[in-house]
Amino acid sequence: MIPPGAPIVTAAQMRAAEEAVFRREPQLDVMERAGAAVAREAARFVHGSPILVLAGPGNNGGDAYVAARLLKAAGHDVAIAASGEPGTPAAREMHARWGGEVGSLYQARPRPVLVDGLFGTGLTRPLERGIAPVFAELVAAARFTLAIDLPSGLETDSGTDLGVPRGISATLALGALKPAHVLGAGLERCGHVLLADIGIPVESQWRTVTRPKLVAPGPRAHKYSRGLVVVVEGDMPGAARLAAHAAMAGGAGYTILACASDGGGGPDALVRHKIANGDDLADFLTEKRIGAVVIGPGLGRDRRAEGLLKAALGADLPLILDGDALTLLGKSAGAWLQRRNAATWLTPHAGEFERMFESDGDKITQTLAAASETRATVIHKGADTVIATPRGVVRVLAQASSWLSTAGTGDVLAGTLAAQVASGNKNAAEAAVWLHARAAALAGPAFIADALPMHLPQAISECL
Ligand SMILES: NC(=O)C1=CN([C@@H]2O[C@H](COP(=O)(O)OP(=O)(O)OC[C@H]3O[C@@H](n4cnc5c(N)ncnc54)[C@H](O)[C@@H]3O)[C@@H](O)[C@H]2O)[C@@H](O)CC1
Ligand SMILES: [K+]
């Protein structure tokens, strides 16, 4: 579980937010609140068991000393083991307020409940060899481990594994989520992510995806006002049909498959329009009632595909580019897309993203750079799906059903997105990603992509 709609900030942004608060309130008071939040959360899982609290050298350790004192005062059996002397003034003060014995991390005996206050946002390098195995053994031996702010050994801004063990049960994020709670190794290592308000206001354009608010069609709605979606068919017609089906079930009023031949399956409500080549498609796309065009699922990469893609790029219509369209654009994506006036959405998975962009850094930074380069909204798919807009807005969806890792689910996302775009949703990308993940959850295990659109109406009903 990851809190929906929660702000996400980097380590530097969190420090700046803390500094602003410390100008009007003593740091120790804030640390008391952080430690109290940790103690409250830990107490829910103790059930009378002995607790071992691990304290590192920084302020994460400071929080740990506070939590230990409060848990002890509440009557729990608490021991502390530290990796060394407290190194910050606040941690030293909290160590003094604890006032009891502090053991060495290296001689610590496992206890059923473990609280990890070794390192938080200040971790700057891989866990030292001595610490990593000892910490991992204590986690493995515990029945329940609660990490303070971040599991120790996780890099805050990227979720890179710097020696973090497996088996952390829950992580209490302090003040705001950090990228590591929703990206990379953090996805598997944080356990349940909980968020504590410790009185530090944070401003952020980055948030986790939340359930969209959708509206049912009004009494005067008609198929065009609901949104006309065109899906361009290519070499693998099944992929385009999946996208078209998702557009229909995702709420579009009218869905047209622009296809090479009349034949082929699909729902009876799906309208087919024959197009021979790029010129034909360009003519067809002068129809101004079209609300969104999808191109790329099963498009192919031959000359015909290139012609179709150029026609779609040249049309002054909202455009969703997926699959082969992304591969065809490759490193020229920025050059092609900057010329467009109408809005564009790109839905690359990791492989397609790499073929298109030369970027380093964490997934949020990379996706923001891609959005800025292409002036498009980029939905960078994966277990941690990152949406970034050219204006710097970021939404992250983590922990979607792992059964989504099957062929065709990307086509369904493209179609779902098209329906949201065509219906005029200003937050189409976030809505589509939520609906898609919700449909997957409703579909249960081992679904095939064909089954996903059938669950979209139920997902939509939860947003009305
Ligand atoms: N600033 C504050 O007063 C507050 C901070 N808070 C807590 O403070 C944390 C951040 O505190 P800090 O900035 O002190 O950082 P940390 O406590 O995360 O760790 C910093 C210390 O660890 C050392 N270190 C870094 N990587 C290491 C490695 N691989 N091996 C060994 N030592 C390593 C550093 O040299 C430094 O001494 C947050 O995660 C949060 O838990 C909260 O108490 C809220 C208030
Ligand atoms: K920690």
CATH 3.40.1190.20 segments of the chain? 223-461
Please indicate if the annotation marks 124 as binding a ligand.
yes
Please indicate if the annotation marks 145 as binding a ligand.
no
Q: Which atom of ligand 1 is nearest the CA belonging to 162?
A: 29
Architecture of domain 11-208: 3-Layer(aba) Sandwich (3.40)
Which ligand has the nearest atom to the CA of 176?
1
Q: Which atom of ligand 1 is nearest the CA belonging to 87?
A: 37
pLDDT the model gives residue 260: 85
Please indicate if the annotation marks 4 as binding a ligand.
no
Please indicate if the annotation marks 298 as binding a ligand.
yes
Global confidence as pTM: 0.96
Distance from Cα 49 to the centre of ligand 2, integer Å: 21
Answer yes or no: is the C-beta of 30 below 6 A from any ligand 1 atom: yes
CATH class for the region spanning 223-461:
alpha beta
pLDDT the model gives residue 92: 98
Probe residue for ligand 1, chosen from 18, 119, 164, 195 as the CB with the greatest number of ligand atoms within 8 Å: 119
Please indicate if the annotation marks 153 as binding a ligand.
no
Closest Cα to atom 27, ligand 1: which residue? 123
Answer yes or no: is the C-beta of 16 below 6 A from any ligand 1 atom: no
Answer yes or no: is the C-beta of 174 below 6 A from any ligand 1 atom: yes
Block means of pLDDT (10 residues each) for the chain, 464 residues, are: 93 96 96 98 96 98 98 98 97 97 97 98 92 97 98 96 97 98 94 96 96 94 92 95 97 95 82 95 95 97 97 98 98 95 97 94 97 98 97 95 93 98 97 98 96 98 98
Please indicate if the annotation marks 62 as binding a ligand.
yes
pLDDT the model gives residue 265: 79
Probe residue for ligand 1, chosen from 18, 54, 60, 154 as the CB with the greatest number of ligand atoms within 8 Å: 60
Answer yes or no: is the C-beta of 171 below 6 A from any ligand 1 atom: no
Answer yes or no: is the C-beta of 187 below 6 A from any ligand 1 atom: no
Three-state SS letters, the chain? CCCCCCEECCHHHHHHHHHHHHCCCCHHHHHHHHHHHHHHHHHCCCCCCCEEEEECCCHHHHHHHHHHHHHHHCCCCEEEEECCCCCCHHHHHHHHHHCCCCEEHHHCCCCCEEEEECCCCCCCCCCCCCHHHHHHHHHHHCCEEEEECCCCCECCCCCCECCCCCCCCEEEEECCECHHHHCCCHHHHCCEEEEECCCCCCCCCEEECCCCCCCCCCCCCCHHHHCEEEEECCCCHHHHHHHHHHHHHCCCCEEEEEECCCCCCCCCCCEEEECCCHHHHHHHCCCCCEEEEEECCCCCCCHHHHHHHHHHHHCCCCEEECHHHHHHHHHHHHHHHCCCCCCEEECCCHHHHHHHCCCCCCHHHHHHHHHHHHCCEEEECCCEEEEECCCCCEEEEECCCHHHCCCCHHHHHHHHHHHHHHCCCCCHHHHHHHHHHHHHHHHCCCCCHHHHHHHHHHHHHCCC
Answer yes or no: is the C-beta of 34 below 6 A from any ligand 1 atom: yes
pLDDT the model gives residue 264: 75
Answer yes or no: is the C-beta of 18 below 6 A from any ligand 1 atom: yes
pLDDT the model gives residue 165: 97
Q: For residue range 335-394, list pLDDT tens digits in order.
A: 999 999 999 999 999 999 999 999 889 999 999 999 999 999 999 999 999 999 999 999
Answer yes or no: is the C-beta of 165 below 6 A from any ligand 1 atom: no
Distance from Cα 61 to the centre of ligand 2, integer Å: 8
Distance from Cα 395 to the centre of ligand 1, integer Å: 27
Please indicate if the annotation marks 63 as binding a ligand.
yes
CA–CA distances in Å: residue 464 to residues 105, 106, 216, 459:
52, 55, 7, 10
Answer yes or no: is the C-beta of 122 below 6 A from any ligand 1 atom: yes
Distance from Cα 92 to the centre of ligand 1, integer Å: 13
Distance from Cα 147 to the centre of ligand 2, integer Å: 5
pLDDT the model gives residue 1: 80
Distance from Cα 67 to the centre of ligand 1, integer Å: 16
pLDDT the model gives residue 86: 97
Which ligand has the nearest atom to the CA of 15?
1
Complex ipTM value? 0.96
Distance from Cα 386 to the centre of ligand 2, integer Å: 25
CATH 3.40.50.10260 segments of the chain? 11-208
pLDDT the model gives residue 266: 79
Q: For residue range 182-223, list pLDDT tens digits in order.
A: 998 999 999 999 999 999 999 999 999 999 999 999 999 899
Distance from Cα 122 to the centre of ligand 1, integer Å: 4
Please indicate if the annotation marks 60 as binding a ligand.
yes
